[in-house]
Amino acid sequence: MKILVIGSGGREHALAWKISQSKRVEKIFCAPANAGISEIAESVPIKAVDINKLLEFAKKEAVDLTVVGPEAPLALGIVDEFQKNGLKIFGPQRFAAKLEASKVFSKQVMAKYGVPTAEFKVFSDADQAKEYVAKKGAPCVVKADGLAQGKGVVVAKTIKEAQDAITLIMQEGVFGEAGNHVVIEECLIGQEASILILTDAETAIPLASSQDHKRVFDNDEGLNTGGMGAYSPAPAVTPEIFKYIEQKIIQPMIKGLAKEGIVYRGVLYAGIMLTAEGPKVLEFNVRFGDPETQAILPRLKSDIVEVMLAVAEGKLSSIKKLDWDDRACVCVTLAAGGYPGPYEKAKVITGLEEVKKMTDVIAFHSGTRKFGDKIVTDGGRVLGVTALGANIKEAITRCYQGVDKIKFEGMHFRRDIGVRAV
């Protein structure tokens, strides 16, 4: 089979790496890829959102299955276009992608089908939103409705902070149209976990649990990022909690979506807060998590291509279960100087060859590119050093042994990834 992976981050590197282990695969393309992905796949210089060019390419090369990494092409309807042209593609259609592209839509579906989530109210008028916040009090959470690259959520400790966020989002329009509506939510307290589910709308198979670290500095301090590291499994998600999430969140959500006329095929990512009252949904994403995927896929023993194909064809019931490695996996993000603010690029990375010599340690590339015979930084999140270990503690030790080998100017990372799981 010929597979096309769309995207260029650590998630896509992990996907391409796992796909490359399938006996069914003869060729992998990745658009637009990065320096690490290009070692296992042919890079295709087409942007992830350039749907027409991707379609043309997939037709020309007779690609058997396309796997979409990021949310933007899904929200633009890449799946609908490929399907119209008779091409197999892993990911939900445009209308289903609204679950991530519109927080208002997502909350409304959850409310309608009784999926546990934070109490909320939707506003399209800034003054009314501010009045509501003043009445409800702080802490509270202000969310821009649309896609805002993970920056559209403000967990406000004071009424003023919440009102300032409303001003920025709705009146100053920092996220453009994504801020035409806001959701004001009750602030939930607890540990977070990510549950990713593969579904073809009929059958749902959850992947191993994971947890990411969103804040930039140790002890969860500093600004939110795309993710500074992740680990799997997440011990906070006990088998009992896992079952609850399956029965009270996943099943009702998939059935509810079906009632809304949404045939959801792909991976559904539930960001969950484990509150004292039980698990509640923070958000749904319509794609694999980044960096969660880097921590999950090294533990997957089953052939991912078979599973993704079954999802795309609506035949997931043919897969009985997934096999998992019992070991734990930890991924540490190595970020560029300045990230998550404006960051530097084109810094030479050393030590990658040494990591390659290690067993069960992999440096997934996020933001890298080739420059002559060197590999240089090309994004805020640069690498995700990932290690397997008998347990989380051992995986952490091995992961940081890998991290120690890598250097580039300005590199920073968290030193406490996975620690709360030990």
Chain residues binding ligand GLY by CB under 6 A are: 212, 227, 285, 289-290, 292
Name the strands in the sheet holding 2-7, side by side, starting at the edge strand that comes first in the sequence. 42-43, 27-32, 2-7, 65-68, 89-90
Q: How far is the CB of 131 from ligand AMP (least distance, A)?
A: 20
Q: Residue numbers of the site for ligand AMP (CB under 6 A)?
A: 118, 141, 143, 153, 155, 185, 187-188, 192, 214, 271, 282-283
Q: What amino acid occupies position 206?
A: P
Nearer to ligand AMP, 22 or 232 (CB): 232
22 or 199: CB nearest ligand GLY: 199
Residue 155, contacted partner among ligand AMP, ligand GLY, none, CB below 5-8 A by kind: ligand AMP
Surface-to-core class of residue 341, CB atoms within 10 Å of its CB (0-12 exposed, 13-18 middle, 19+ buried): exposed
Of 278 and 351, the one with the shorter C-beta distance to ligand AMP is 278
- Within a 10 A sphere around the Cβ of 215, how many other Cβ atoms? 16
C-beta separation of 196 from 289 below 8 A: yes
Query: In degrees rounded to 5, what are phi and psi of residue 421?
Result: -95, -5
Place of tokens 């589910």: 197
Nearest approach, Cβ of residue 72 and ligand AMP (Å): 15
Work out how close the CB of 12 gets to ligand GLY at its nearest, in angstroms, rounded to a whole number.
12
What residue 227 binds from ligand AMP, ligand GLY, none (CB within 5 to 8 A, per partner kind)?
ligand GLY
> What does the alpha-carbon distance between residue 196 and residue 131 come to, in Å, rounded to a whole number?
37
From ligand AMP, ligand GLY, none, interface partner of 354 (C-beta below 5 to 8 A by class): none
DSSP-based three-state secondary structure for 365: strand
Give the integer Cα–Cα distance in Å for 267 and 206: 9
- Shortest-Cβ-distance residue relative to ligand GLY: 289
Instruction: Specify the residue, 206 or 271, whose C-beta has the smaller distance to ligand AMP.
Output: 271
Pairs from 252-259 (Cβ < 8 Å, separation ≥ 24): 252/113, 252/114, 252/115, 253/109, 253/110, 253/113, 253/115, 253/284, 254/197, 254/199, 254/201, 254/204, 255/113, 256/109, 256/112, 256/113, 256/115, 257/96, 257/99, 257/109, 257/201, 258/201, 259/113
| Helical axes 94-101 vs 103-112, angle rounded to 10° | 100
Min separation Cβ 93 and ligand GLY, Å:
20
Q: Write down the least CB distance from residue 277 to ligand AMP, Å.
A: 13
Query: Residue 207 binds which entry of ligand AMP, ligand GLY, none, with Cβ cut-offs from 5 to 8 Å by kind?
Result: none
Q: Which does 156 bind (CB under 5 to 8 A by kind): ligand AMP, ligand GLY, none?
A: none
Q: For ligand AMP, which is the closer residue by CB, 42 or 192?
A: 192
Rank residues 29 and 90 by Cβ distance to ligand GLY and give the closer one: 90
Residue 188 interacting partner from ligand GLY, ligand AMP, none (CB closer than 5 to 8 Å by kind): ligand AMP
> How near is the Cβ of 290 to ligand GLY at its closest, in Å?
5
Least separation in angstroms between residue 154's CB and ligand AMP is 8
- CA 272 vs. chain centroid, Å, equals 13
With CB cut-offs between 5 and 8 Å by kind, which of ligand GLY, ligand AMP, none does residue 289 bind? ligand GLY
